Amino acid sequence: MIPDQDEVRYLVLTDRAAPYLLARVRWPDVAQAITVGNPDWLDDVGLFDLPYSPSAVRVTFSQAAAVAAGWGRQLTREGADGVPSFIRRLPANWSDLSPAERRAWGLESVGRQRASARRVRRLRSLQARNAASSAAAEQAADAANGRGTVATERRRHMRVRVDGRAHIRCGQVTISAGLVDLSEGGVRFVLPQAPAILTPGAMLDGPFVLEAEVTTSRLCLNVPGRIIWCRAIEASTHFGVAFGELDDSEIDGVQRFIAAACSRPGSR
């Protein structure tokens, strides 16, 4: 767990829940950002407006560092010196970037990529195949731990195995946990030992930042979550989280994230 204490604000803009711009802002001296298409820091005074944009998602330093790492950059807590500046007309409209702004930030292709039909069909096949095996595995683990058979939670969506990491904001701390499986309805995490704040019924603050192990994919779901179960399996603690209501764009993002993770060698 990492305490979230930093005077710099970290914010992301997302397209179907996939981060494409990461900014660090502190009035009046830090207004810098990198993007998926331009991973070099750029000064932009228009970023001082970003915290007030409804499209911006505020993240913790740990979550922002995970996004930056996916673009090959190590995040520091202070702004970079000597970086180029983007001269723009003000005020900035981060929900509707102009063509010139898109070119400056390397974002011409953002909003155009979608999961292929083949990947989506494969995802649905995996979901159907894993439906029965997931419940059987959990029941076997319960029996091995002397707990007997425990009914698993009812799921509206079948989860698919996705190896990776998750960075979860819970109150004033960020928790990094292993990512086990994921669906549009929820997610399963694993920790060597769960802190006391992670108990069934506990609410988790959004956003959730997820990263797949075998791809550079990142997902930022700006929704709260509720822990619906928590149990010891072998030497680790597993817990399941039900997401708050996702909008259509976020559902699309989850499907694309899973499809990408399952399309590479090493996926299960």
Beta bridge partners of 237: 191, 232
Residues 126 and 242 in one domain: yes
Q: State whether 133 and 257 are in the same domain.
A: yes
Q: Do residues 255 and 123 make contact, with C-beta atoms less than 8 angstroms apart?
A: yes
| End position of a domain, from candidates 81, 105, 129 | 105
Q: Do 204 and 233 lie in a common domain? A: yes
What mean pLDDT do residues 113-124 have? 51
pTM > 0.85? no
- Same domain for 94 and 159: no
* Closest residue by Cα to residue 230 from 222, 242, 221, 219: 242
174 lies in which domain range?
A: 117-261
pLDDT at res. 15: 95
Report pLDDT for 219.
96
Domain end (from 51, 85, 105): 105
What angle is formed at CA 183 by the lines to CA 181 and CA 186, rounded to 5 degrees? 85
Q: In this predicted structure, what is the pLDDT of residue 266?
A: 46
Of 130, 1, 107, nearest in space to 44 by CA:
107
> Residues of the chain with pLDDT > 70: what percent?
78
Number of domains in the chain: 2
Q: How much is the pLDDT for 8? A: 94
Question: Are 101 and 139 part of one and the same domain?
Answer: no
Both 87 and 148 in one domain: the answer is no
Is residue 111, in this structure, part of any structural domain at all?
Answer: no
At residue 40, does pLDDT exceed 50? yes
pLDDT value of residue 148: 41
Looking at the chain, the whole-number percentage of residues with pLDDT higher than 90 is 57
pLDDT of residue 111: 72
184-215: per-residue pLDDT in tens?
Answer: 999 999 999 878 888 999 999 999 999 998 77
What CATH number does the domain containing 127 carry?
Answer: 2.40.10.220
Q: Is the pLDDT of residue 125 over 60?
A: no
- For residues 148 and 100, state if they share a domain: no
- pLDDT at 78 (0 to 100): 84
Please, which pLDDT band fits residue 32 given cuts at 50, 70 and 90? very high
pLDDT surpasses 80 at 161? yes
Residue 154: which pLDDT band, with cuts at 50, 70 and 90?
A: very low
- Both tokens of 254, joined, read 């989850």
| Region 86-106 average pLDDT | 86
Q: Would residue 27 count as lying in a domain?
A: yes
The residue-averaged pLDDT of 143-162 equals 58
Supply the mean pLDDT for the chain.
83
| Claim to verify: residue 48 and residue 143 sit in the same structural domain | no
End of a domain among 77, 105, 133? Answer: 105
Give the single-character DSSP code of 107. -
Give the torsion through C-alpha atoms of 246, 177, 190, 259, to 10 deg. 50
